[in-house]
Chains A and B, each alone.
Chain A
Amino acid sequence: MYLYDKYDQAMVDARVEEFRDQARRRLEGKLTEDQFKPLRLMNGLYLQLHAYMLRVAIPYGTLNGAQMHALADIADKYDRGYGHFTTRQNIQYNWIKLEEAADLLSDLAKVEMHAIQTSGNCIRNISSDHFAGAAADELVDPRPYAELLRQWSSFHPEFSYLPRKFKIAVIASDKDRAAMRLHDIGIRIVQNEAGEPGAAFYVGGGMGRTPMIAPCIREFVPLDQLVTYSEACLRVYNRYGRRDNKYKARIKILVHELGAEEYTRQVEEEFAHLQQQGIEPPLAELERLKTYFADPPFDDGPKTVDRSDPDFALWVDRNTIRHKHDAHVSAVISLKPIGGIPGDASADQMHLMAELAKQYSFDELRVMHTQNIVLPHVRIADLPALWARLDEAGLGAPNLDTIEDIIACPGLDYCSLANARSIPVAQKISERFSANGKTAALGELKLKISGCINACGHHHAGHIGILGVDKKGVENYQLLLGGSEAEDVALGKITGPGFSEDGIVDAVETAADVYLRERSDGERFLDTYRRIGIDPFKEALYG
């Protein structure tokens, strides 16, 4: 994985000192809260429901054991012994003190981490495929491209006061494991007919209040123009994105209002101009970055394992993924124990995951946008030992991509923007399905819950989505069906009137039962929904 050189380290260290100074000026009253807010947000520090919340960047979801240990230490030293992994592959701490925030950032900088641009109207942390560098189906490892863009977007002088936040995802496979087309810019590394690598640009996707799937605005940008093309996309947005209405300020609205064709024309014009400006790093820089993502020394070994323990066999079937090297798999550590808080991990659990990464996965971990952790490169021979340690620590839930593997945003338990709580709904659903035994029969069923229209819980993209709303001061939940964030991307549709907290749990079971009744062989929930449409579900829910 990428390691800082003296330049990167100097930048992160400078940022810590800048923030220390800004926080001091705020505490001394030299900055008002209005002036301080954008500054602290650009360092990931929010004022949340209970306290300050700090979001730490985990670039493209990749981290090593020392970094995970440091995250655990921070949880103990500055927070209340835990952290929350988010749908943007970051981690959030919920109980941070402003007077200690700079020290925390300084601890992070010691392990080459930071909170730079994890909030604010700027280019946010860049996300990617959590199986990058391990997946059997990828063209190349997308992370060097993500790192190139991370550096380009860090402290960007022109794009730090955009109309609204800006999220970029980079993938390099037919399979989309990063919700690429639901980002402001989605980049897919592809090959043209001549076999040369380049990038397809999808611009103007997003969830939130007005969900949109990004159209492809250019099928092939040569790799030595990636930064220049991105700069062109951003400049058109910075100049013409709407600033009159916060809810219409994302790039998706600009692309929608101009039309993809006109937006593309403007980008191409800007691109032609910017190509004369010499802003593109040389290809040698990309080659330098690639060296950091070279394969670890995989070794040959057994390709099968003793499956006589049924619990172990179930975990292997559900939570391990085919690897490009056939004596290895990627193993998913579920942060979704039955009745647990999706994405939360205690400091002890983080320490354990860090140790296991060191022992079994070439010291590497990944954060998934589904709020789980991946050990990307595990020898098949090591699986029994790994599973035993996970199981013992309550981290062995065998539920990847099942109805118990629920994405839930923090919701009204932590978030000041929330309309309703998300976590208790997730807890009740996972308890319900583990008790009724339907999880296995349901197979792949992605359930996603957001506590408000901002859609941090990706409810539009859930096979089943749940959106919390405020109905005259009472929590209420809308049900959506048919969304997907994967390569078969789609936006879910609302079934009808909302439900109470217990009502929504029943409604999810009702929808699941319609699928179990109607499915044909081999169909997933989403496939059945697409074949039969929403009506049979409505009938069962409201009929």
Chain B
Amino acid sequence: MAEIIRFRDDEPVDHPAVTVDSFLDQSNANAVRVEPGDDARALIPHLAQLHLVEVNFPAFGDGRGYSSARVLREAGYDGELRAVGDVLVDQVAYMKRCGFDSFEPDTTLDPDTLGAALARWPEVYQSAADTRQPIWSKRHA
């Protein structure tokens, strides 16, 4: 397992995340792992208790996790949101826009390439889960 890249300053949760099913069952964990087929909305009643949500990407082409992330951020979740698994360097910028603030890719990301990818987009066209101001908003500021 490669190292974790974090874009937040708080202490990381130091125990493993449980599955959504077992979280909903026992409900005292503070870290949960969302699989592509899980409904992230099921976590909404429990967000205050959660410090870490891992969203698993078993294959980079399965984009359901992007929606899971936004659903959680739109519901007000402000704990750590970590993309785990087959996370490619060219995807990280999009994932950040969907609300991910930490990354645990299966394969280590080259720091230079990652830096370049994150600095790539001077502007954004949409309002998403990050704080970037969309182009349409700048045009009519």
Contact = CB atoms under 8 A, between A and B. Distances in A.
A152 B128 CA distance: 11
A449 to B, nearest CB: 31
Contacts of B136: 151, 281-282, 285
Interface string B98-141: 10000000000010010011001111111110000011111110
Contact of A238 (B64, B74, B110): B64
Interface in A5-19: 5, 7-8, 10-11, 14, 17-18
A152 B121 contact: no
A288 interface: yes
Interface stretch (A153-161, A255-263, A355-363, A516-524): A153-161
Contact of B63 (A160, A281, A284, A285): A160
A288 to B, nearest CB: 7
Given A22-B90, A284-B140, A161 B126 contact: no
A14 B123 CA distance: 9
A21 B113 CA distance: 9
B79 to A, nearest CB: 19
Contacts of B64: 238-239, 243
A243 B127 contact: no
B125 A152 contact: yes
B116 to A, nearest CB: 7
Interface string A259-287: 00000000000000100011101101100
Contacts of B98: 157-158
A87 to B, nearest CB: 26
Interface string B60-71: 111110111010
B7 interface: no
A38 interface: yes
Given A17-B120, A38-B60, A277-B74, A158 B128 contact: yes
B50 interface: no
Given A35-B88, A281-B134, A285-B140, A238 B67 contact: yes
Contacts of B134: 281
A152 B98 CA distance: 15
Nearest to A37: B61
A282 B135 CA distance: 12
A281 B135 CA distance: 9
Interface in A99-157: 121, 151-152, 154-157
Interface residues of B, number: 39
Nearest to A227: B126
A161 B90 contact: no
A273 B117 CA distance: 31
Nearest to B40: A239
Contacts of A235: 67, 70
Contacts of B61: 38, 121, 161
A66 interface: no
A21 B121 contact: no
A279 B67 CA distance: 15
A157 B66 contact: yes
Contact of B124 (A155, A284, A285, A288): A155
B120 A11 contact: no
B41 to A, nearest CB: 9
Given A7-B135, A158-B66, A14 B122 contact: yes
Contact of B126 (A21, A38, A39, A156): A156
A238 B98 CA distance: 14
| Closest 8 A/B residue pairs (Cβ) | A161-B63, A157-B97, A281-B136, A157-B94, A7-B135, A279-B127, A158-B66, A10-B122
Interface of B: 36, 60-64, 66-68, 70, 74, 88, 90-91, 93-95, 97-98, 110, 113, 116-117, 120-128, 134-140
22 contacts: A14-B122, A18-B120, A30-B113, A39-B90, A121-B63, A151-B136, A154-B125, A156-B126, A157-B94, A158-B66, A158-B67, A158-B70, A159-B66, A160-B66, A160-B94, A163-B63, A235-B67, A238-B67, A239-B64, A277-B127, A278-B127, A279-B126
Given A158-B98, A161-B61, 6 more contacts: A10-B122, A157-B124, A235-B70, A281-B136, A285-B136, A288-B139
